[in-house]
Amino acid sequence: MLTVIFCSFCAWMLPVLFFVSVFVTLNKGVAYVKRLHQIPCAGCDFFTNDYRLKCTVRPSIACSEEAIGCRDFEPKTSACNACQKYAGSDVIRKFKA
pTM over 0.75: no
Q: What SS3 state is found at 58? A: coil
Cα-to-chain-centroid distance, residue 63? 8
Which is more confident, 30 or 97?
Answer: 30
Q: What SS3 state is found at 31? A: helix
DSSP string computed for 5-17: HHHHHHHHHHHHH
- 8 Å CB contact between 23 and 32: no
Q: What SS3 state is found at 51? A: coil
pLDDT in tens, 15-42: 999 999 999 999 999 999 999 999 999 9
What is the predicted pLDDT for the residue at 16? Answer: 96
Domain residue ranges of the chain, discontinuous segments joined by +: 1-37, 39-97
SS (H, E, C) 18-69: HHHHHHHHHHHHHHHHHHHCCCCHHHECCECCCCCCCECCCCCCCCCHHHCC
